[in-house]
Structure 1
Amino acid sequence: MTTLKATLQDDLTAAIKARDELRSSTLRLTLSAITNEEVAGKSARELSDDEVQKVIAREAKKRREAAEAFAQGGRAEQAEREKAEGEVLAAYLPQQLSDEELSALVAEAVKEAVAGGAEGPRAMGAVMKIVNPKVAGRAEGGRVAAEVKRHLTG
């Protein structure tokens, strides 16, 4: 079975051969972020696919935030570039949950937490504990937290 990192490396080689500058530079940066993560600890190690996915998600989030910053700064060209890089990375991530799917998962978790005796401000943590494993990389933490708050105050 091919690892996610190996897939990224193969896709990078293909992008270089195809002279796809956007794709090759995005994958190159992402692979170096993965390598940095691998050598960050006390001893070098190979990341699992889940860990690689977390690095990709973090890189994709950086692109989204940079795109917003560039757009607000009136630098449309750079914003487009960041957005395009984010889309390249999104292809390697699990399909993101729609608002409806996320809302349904959160509603279920809220019921579960309340049934378990959680209420008030403490319910937030309890609900997050239940919903996070179900969401697992398919929605950003901030988006999940906002949805949980909406359900708890709603």
Structure 2
Amino acid sequence: MLTSLERYAPWAIAAFRVVVGFLFFCHGATTLLSWPAESHGGAPSFGAWPSWWSGAIELVGGLLLILGLGTRLAAFIGSGAMAVAYFWKHQGDGLFPVENGGDSAALYCWALLLLVFIGPGKLALDSVIGREPTPDRSAAPADRPLEKSSK
């Protein structure tokens, strides 16, 4: 039997996915389109390394996460891009993210990595088109022992 909160977990995961995807999308839109906020230094020219590419990964990856389409792959690529951004751009400016300005890159890296492992949750296009299996609630979770039947 599921506890009262466990039955809402797929919905909470979906909300987490959509919010993280939207914020990631906004970072990419700001970088590439100067929308919804002005980009620092203006939009990079097409194909400029690394700013245009990171903006494209954020924009496209964020949109895919919002929709729940190719969630695990989009999250994996986004997580890797944020790890590269953190170590390449921020780590040299200090040991801790709060002192080197890399806290958002670090948070995105770990939030996206979590989505790689937990999947899209409910209301994802992956589930609708059959690319993401739905969890079988009749099976016992791996972290809980099977209940013994009384004979």
Asked if TM exceeds 0.5, the reply is no
TM-score, scaled to structure 1? 0.30
TM-score, scaled to structure 2? 0.30
Decide which structure has greater helix share: 1
